[in-house]
Amino acid sequence: MLLATSEIRRAKLRFSLLTGAVGLLVFLILFQQVLLGSLLQSFTGAIENQSAPVLVYGAEARKNVEGSIVTPDAIPAVQAVEGVATVVPLGEGTFTMEAGGTQVDTAVFGFTPGGPGEPTKVVAGRLPQAPGEAVAPREDTTKGFDIGQTVTSSAGGVPVTIVGLTEQSRFSVAPTLFTPFATYEQLRRAANPDARAVLPTLLAVDPAPGVDPAVLADRITAQVPGVEALDRARAVSEAPGVAAVQQSFSLILLLAFIVVTLIVGFFFLILTVQKASSLTLLRAVGAPAGYLVKALLQQIGVVVGGGLVVGVAFLFGAKAGAQAGLPLQVEPATVIATCATVIVFALLASSVAVVRVLRIDPFSVVTRQSLGGTG
């Protein structure tokens, strides 16, 4: 430890810079993962945190809520499927709402109070009971969606009063209201006075006791023409865009891990090459190779450990600062897994430097002129 620490003490700036760089990269990796989780939650939270275990889409929707419409004849047909307890309509649409004095793109879900499709994560206030009431995401209270406030549709001026707040229940990264279906219908008609009818976007289904939602979804798809039923988990994971976002972020993460590996690997390799003469001398005066490798690994441990501390500290700083915008959810498991991966990658990266140390030939001290040898 003496060799490792005394070198770090003498080259504080160099090691601090590397620790800082690793710390920033660790922060980047952690932040991206946390952002991914939060972003996906904001994309599909409304689907994940509603009470219907099975959702029925129009077959042409390609599992896209916004592209779905269910024809009136589908409701009795789904109700007739064995294992279905309750079927109610669920509407979804994006409307321009006047909130807090500005126009805001707002997703609105029209559900049946007391039936499947209700929001399940109401954290303040209450669920809407009457037309004209809605719950809104807690994340959007500063945008004019707080309890007691009234937002109005830009088209037709339909007022909606916020009576409760949800969490993790946004849709398409927009403020999302859950309101009785009648209000949703009113908003639709106000947006387009020519509308002939307002059909459900989806059907929310409660299975009978003991019926598996996934099995029931497959049964509905097979027996009812023109629809595709999905259990809640599939509705979330197979929503368009979710896979694309996940793949994009995976690519960025991979890139960030490669950068950490390259930086740590190259840094310690350069350091080892720079010290080759001194290390050869140490070997020649009897220092075992294991001792030098141990010192190298200790330095890597200090740099990577320090980097992890810096990265995690930055993450919590960012979490505190991000409360007003997209709320960040830090999962301890993600932090631990990321730290472990960085350590493994750093060790892998430093293996080149370790090999270089192991290959040092103590005899070269008598042949290398720079070490006083005879050449």
Residue 53 beta carbon to another protein: minimum distance, rounded to whole angstroms: 24
Contact stretch for another protein (CB under 8 A) within 109-117, 152-160, 286-294, 311-319: 152-160
Which residue from 3, 124, 182, 191 is in contact with another protein, where contact means CB under 8 A? 191
Least distance between another protein and beta carbon 125 (Å): 27
220-254: string of b/e by CB count within 10 Å (b at 16+)? bbeebeebbbbbbebbbeebeebeeeeeebeeebe
Quick one: 76 or 288, whose CB is closer to another protein? 76
Degrees to nearest 5, angle at CA 261 with 258 and 263:
105
CA end-to-end span of the chain, whole Å?
Answer: 33
Give residues 45-84 in contact with another protein (rule: CB under 8 A). Answer: 58-62, 67, 69, 71
SS3 84: strand
Check binding of 138 to another protein (CB under 8 A).
no
Smallest distance, Å, CB 353 to another protein? 11
Q: Which one-letter amino acid corresponds to residue 76?
A: P
- For another protein, the closer of residues 39 and 217 by Cβ is 39
Taking alpha carbons only, the member of 149, 178, 162 closest to residue 47 is: 178
Helix and strand tally (H, E) in the chain?
10, 10
Does 159 engage in binding with another protein (CB under 8 A)? no
CA-CA distance, 96 to 188, in Å (whole number)?
11
Question: Does residue number 24 form part of the binding site for another protein (CB under 8 A)?
Answer: no
Tell me whether residue 207 or residue 299 sits nearer to another protein (CB atom): 299
| Cα separation, 178 vs 119, whole angstroms | 7
| Chain positions contacting another protein, by CB under 8 A | 58-62, 67, 69, 71, 93-96, 103, 105, 153-155, 188-189, 191-192, 194-199, 226, 248, 251-252, 255, 258-259, 262-263, 266-267, 269-270, 273-274, 369-370
